[in-house]
Amino acid sequence: MKSYVIFTDSASDISPATLSDWGVKMAPLTFRFADSEHDFLDTEMAPGAFYARMRDGDTVHTSAVNKEYFKEKFTQILDTGNDILYLGFSSALSTTFNSARLAKEELEAEAPERKIILVDTKSASAGLGLTVYLTVREKERGATIEDAASFAKSISARICHWFTVDDLSYLKSGGRVSSTTAFFGNMLGIKPVLFMDNDGLLKKHSKAIGRHASIEALAAKYGELAEDKTDNTVFISHGDSLSDAKLLERMLAEKYGAKVKLITDVGCVVGGHSGPGTLALFFIGKSRKGE
């Protein structure tokens, strides 16, 4: 069986060290603050420092990975004799996946005997990270690149993404809520509960009054949708709100006997759109359906 490398991008919100432990390569998206000309790699700034700047009012602009970066890194892997399985950030939210597609087309035209398989996971943050983790496990069990790609496509369609934010201002900046909704929502302590649908788009599901209620709503969705409540692979990501992530972890354990596999930071690129206080839950479900 020909060897292959699993490749992803930083929108997985899995640290470079952890990805390295998994044997996974990664392409970083980038961001910059509105008052700066310096582009930061997604993994270049500590999340705490990043979210402190957001809380101080700094505006963030994000950028996708470009084709040339993918082409360079893919070439380095191909030159080692390995094929490539790329598991990418939702194409509905970023042009990063399309950049990988363009790089693949050019490289395969130059060397048609080489194999590069791309999977648009329709996922983001640790939902993408969870797909990567589970696919790595399939590879470790001996899956061929074709089998691993098929698995990744199938399992990503069942990775539930549920999240809430602490401040509606950041969703307003991204055009996901109106200025009026953000103003009155923040004033009244309304916290939205959102999910990612099968097309990889973020959708509003419901509203909770107060932070604690919004965290309880995430736990309740786990109880409703989890394929196996006690034996599931659960990831949590947070935007500089570790105490809330730990609270959600305890709720899942107490209500359902669930064990959280990984708690990770929402990275700077994803967090630039959702803001500090983001809390997200990811698990294998019966479907992503949010109704």
Return the ∠ at Cα 171 (arms to 61 and 181), rounded to 5°. Answer: 145
Phi and psi at residue 250, to the nearest 5° = -65, -40
Q: How far apart are CA 56 and CA 73, in angstroms?
A: 36
Tokens 């893919």 correspond to 74
Phi and psi at residue 207, to the nearest 5° = -130, 145
Where in the chain do CATH 3.30.1180.10 domains reside? 159-284
- CATH homologous superfamily of 4-29+64-156 equals Dihydroxyacetone kinase; domain 1 (3.40.50.10440)
236 and 249 in contact (C-beta within 8 Å)?
yes
Where in the chain do CATH 3.40.50.10440 domains reside? 4-29+64-156
- What pLDDT is recorded for position 114? 85
Fold that domain 159-284 belongs to in CATH? Hypothetical Protein Tm841; Chain: A;domain 3 (3.30.1180)
Percent of the chain with pLDDT over 90: 78
What would the pLDDT profile of 124-139 be if each residue is shown by its tens digit?
Answer: 999 999 999 999 999 9
- What pLDDT is recorded for position 185? 47
Helices 96-110 and 67-78: crossing angle, nearest 10°?
Answer: 50
What would the pLDDT profile of 184-200 be if each residue is shown by its tens digit?
Answer: 345 445 788 889 999 99
